[in-house]
Amino acid sequence: MTTIPLNSTKKGVISVTKIERPYGEDSAPVASVGISLTGNAESPEWKVHIPMDNLDEVIKALQSL
């Protein structure tokens, strides 16, 4: 897991990790991005799962902002 300090907060973090089988044995890997305002990277208040097959497209979209 990679943890990044969340700007404009005292303890907040962004956590990024890969989950191999997030929805059971037959599910595809995802990149999990979480936000914790309290600094608890293991239990973020918000998270999104991005299929690894879509990751390049999502990165390009974010870079174009």
- Beta-bridge partner residues of 16: 2, 33
Confidence of residue 59 (pLDDT cuts 50, 70, 90): very high
Predicted pLDDT of residue 45: 98
pLDDT digits (tens, 9 = 90+) for 5-41: 999 999 999 999 999 999 999 999 999 999 999 999 9
Predicted pLDDT of residue 48: 98
pTM, rounded to two decimals: 0.90
The runs of H, that is alpha helices, within the chain are: 55-63
Predicted pLDDT of residue 49: 98
